[in-house]
Amino acid sequence: MHTQNQLTNTSALLLNVNSNVRIIIFAICIVLCLTPFVSPAIALLLGLVIAQFTGHPYLHLNHKATNLLLQVSVVGLGFGMNVHSALQAGKEGILFTIASITGTLVFGYLIGKWFRIEKKTAFLISSGTAICGGSAIAAISPVIKAEEKQMSVALGCVFILNSIALFVFPLIGHQLNMSQTQFGLWCAIAIHDTSSVVGAASKYGTHALEVATTVKLARALWIIPVAFMASFLFKNNSRKISVPYFIGLFILAMIANTYIPAVSVISPYFIKIAKAGLTLTLFLIGAGLSRTVLLSVGFNLYYREYCFGLPYL
């Protein structure tokens, strides 16, 4: 899928530099994001700056790169988790997950009807909000045979709000004196994309990260029933569904860390690599949000998506 690539317009960039300079600046930013001096939030901001000023030199590869990097990073985070505490976190979040997903899909449908949003666009935004952001949109788009413009608008809405949440949620959590468990649950339910959930939770604390990642990945499995429901609603008999197989690898990593002593010894190295990968993922997401992508979403659609998020704020 190259929706963001199609929305890029070099004339909209604030700095007119040649391709070699653009590549050098981009490479320097990647190296910086792999150091401990750049946090996930700063990486996202750095990516946004690159998108507006010099542009992403490899934008056509960005979607696949962020998907792969995010999945590998999430699996790596599994080496820092314990099965027993993860199961406990999953039990605490299951009722919230069911209620919030059902409520968001119903509320999204009603808001879409109220604002007269095109049906497929409204469903993609609702699904991305309810489940796991861009991953849900990418999985459900072929099921409902969505057009490029519809996917672009939905992805733009989700990525913009994820960017805001990454900065705002930790501040709100501290102001409300939330516990690690409370903040982890809130992140997993209220923030759309897995990368931003992990980024915000990692800033809040280790246990918050464990709770948020476990609940969010359990939530991501809802892509499957929602996709089947979408194929019925939009009368698509092909039922082509993208299953998030990396969740199984995450579970295996968590089991290995819990029950294999040799793995637990080297787990800290996997975690460091995974967190660096997550930081780089957020940089790439920011670098893909060019001014033309942001403008394609528009104020009205941004406002509508913001309404979808109100129950969780």
137-147 confidence digits (pLDDT tens): 877 887 788 87
- Averaged pLDDT for residues 251-270: 89
169-191 confidence digits (pLDDT tens): 999 999 999 999 899 989 988 89
Residue pair 105/130 in contact by the 8 Å Cβ criterion: yes
Q: Which residues, in sequence order, are CB contacts of 35 under 8 Å at separation 6+?
A: none
State yes or no: pLDDT of 58 exceeds 70.
yes
Percent of the chain past pLDDT 90, that is, above it, reads: 18
**Range among 34-43, 172-181, 198-207, 234-243 rated most confident:** 172-181
Give the pLDDT score at 238: 56
- Averaged pLDDT for residues 195-224: 86
Query: What is the spatial distance between Cα 106 and Cα 101, in angstroms, rounded to a whole number?
Result: 9
Asked whether the whole model's pTM tops 0.75, one would answer no
**Range among 9-13, 140-144, 155-159, 258-262 rated most confident:** 258-262
Give the pLDDT score at 297: 56
Q: DSSP labels for the chain?
A: --HHHHT--GGG-SS---HHHHHHHHHHHHHHHTSTTS-HHHHHHHHHHHHHHT--TTGGGHHHHHHHHHHHHHHHHGGG--HHHHHHHHHHHHHHHHHHHHHHHHHHHHHHHHHT--HHHHHHHHHHHHTTTHHHHHHHHHHHT--HHHHHHHHHHHHHHHHHHHHHHHHHHHHTT--HHHHHHHHHHH--SHHHHHHHHHHH-HHHHHHHHHHHHHHHTTHHHHHHHHHHHTT-SS------THHHHHHHHHHHHHH-HHHHHHHHHHHHHHHHHHHHHHHHHHHT--HHHHHHHHHHHHHHHHHHHGGG-
Range with the lowest mean pLDDT among 182-191, 272-281, 289-298?
289-298
- Packed helices 134-144 and 148-175: angle between N→C axes, nearest 10 degrees: 150
198-211 confidence digits (pLDDT tens): 889 988 998 898 88
Which is more confident, 142 or 57?
Answer: 57
Give the pLDDT score at 34: 92
Give the pLDDT score at 177: 95
18 in the Ramachandran plot: left (φ > 0), alpha (ψ -120 to 50) or beta? beta
Give the pLDDT score at 123: 92
